[in-house]
Structure 1
Amino acid sequence: MYGRASERPLLARGDGRHVLIVVDDPEIAELLSTTMELAGFRISVADTAGEAVARLVKRRFDLVVLDADLSDMTELAQEPRLAVVERPRVLLLAEYDSLDRLLPELGPGETDYVTKPLRIAEVLARAQVLLHGRRRVRREGTLGYGDLVLDDSTCQAWRGQRALDLTPAEYRLLRHLLVNANKVLSKERIGRFVRGEFRGGNAIEQLVSRVRRKVDRDGPPLIHTRRGFGYWLG
């Protein structure tokens, strides 16, 4: 009735984005959470608007999948604590007969809907479209890999929407790894590029460790170690 997990499109990729599913039907909640986890999303589930509010004020979500027919939906609109949090994109699950009521409330690019009974492929596709709009547009002079973006004109970096607070050495290291993506770079090569010379010891290991903590804090890891050989980004 609600579709199957096997309907998941091959191109659907969550990339570790955080999704809050707010539905009061356990069967639909299980279907959505299982399928979206398989697609690479990080999932939290709430069965009331009140519980959703508590989760939204505690942490940031990239997307909320929300049943438009929740009995306590008005709590979300009237909750003052949500006025000071970053608003996620919203994907509404709506009955066809309720569209006349919902459509005037949909903001451009911020909210979308799918109709019930749900089709999992459609849910994933609409989630992808909503989240794609949150990605930082790459300008001329920027470098990127997945949701990692470096802007050489300002020497700033972002992972998704999160700005990375990098020192000059950390920025040079991350840039060197990025332009050589999927290639293993030795500590000697990194040392000569970042510092102009390689002095041995564990200075490069510590530098890579600091950059890794900043880059991979909230998402799937991009910086990896090939023991005995060096480091690579991919």
Structure 2
Amino acid sequence: MTRVLIVEDEAQIARAMQITLQAHGYQAFSVGTGADALVAVAKEAVEIVVLDLGLPDMDGVEIIRRIRGWSSMPIIVLSARHASEDKVEALDAGADDYVTKPFGLDELLARLRVASRRLVTSHEEPTLATADFMVDLAGKKIIKDGAEVRLTPTEWNILELLVRNKGKLVTQQQLLTQVWGQAYAKETQYLRVYIAQLRRKLERDPAVPRHLHTEAGMGYRFDP
């Protein structure tokens, strides 16, 4: 059965969705806060997230961004926010679908069927261990020699993009546009500076990198 996490702080709505999904063959469970949602996604075998944006402890868009830091699992937003800018923000952050409240349970089931067809078959892990350090994508932190390595937000964003594409070339343009924006697509000197900083913090020998490799004139590659 497809395992669905319902993130909804209104207990009656969460309970109704849970009962309906279970009756239609899903394995559903619910949490009421963003913090609990992030823990559940990282530690439970969640396959689809149904997410309310208006949670008591954090905005749902931040949860989408945090999940997208390490997983491509389908995320369906259920929200009372009807404005187009709210929908755009959620979809740009990585949501796969957006349903406004009030909604019909038949519609939710239809959206879940679509999401189920897009499930990634390979198991995605929230952590990645190398011989020298551990990357916690869900927690957004690096552990090396038993201690946390402090990265700046920009350093983390670069590393996260490389780790999510481990073993693959990530072009200079991809890194620049996704980390800094389209206006910085040609500012390759930024990358040289930040990659050098990451190597100093993570590599045993920054001069002979084991994990952060340069593909001359093209981009960078992360090897675990």
User: TM-score range with shorter-chain normalisation?
Assistant: 0.3 to 0.5
Q: TM-score, normalised by structure 2?
A: 0.48
